[in-house]
Structure 1
Amino acid sequence: MQRKVLYGLLLIALLAVPVLGIYPLFIMKVMCFALFAAAFNLLIGYTGLLSFGHAMFLASAGYVTGYAMQTLGFSPELGVLAGTAAATVLGLVVG
Structure 2
Amino acid sequence: MYRIAVIGDYDSIYGFAALGLDTFPVTAHEEAAELLHRLAAEGYGIIYITEAWMAELKQEAAKYQDQVIPAIIQIPGIAGNTGAGVAGVKKSVEVAVGSDILFGDD
Q: Same fold (TM over 0.5)?
A: no
Q: Which has the larger radius of gyration?
A: 1
TM-score (norm 2): 0.32
Greater strand percent: which structure? 2
- Bigger RCO of structures 1 and 2 (CA < 8 A, at least 6 apart): 2
TM-score for the superposition, normalised by structure 1: 0.34
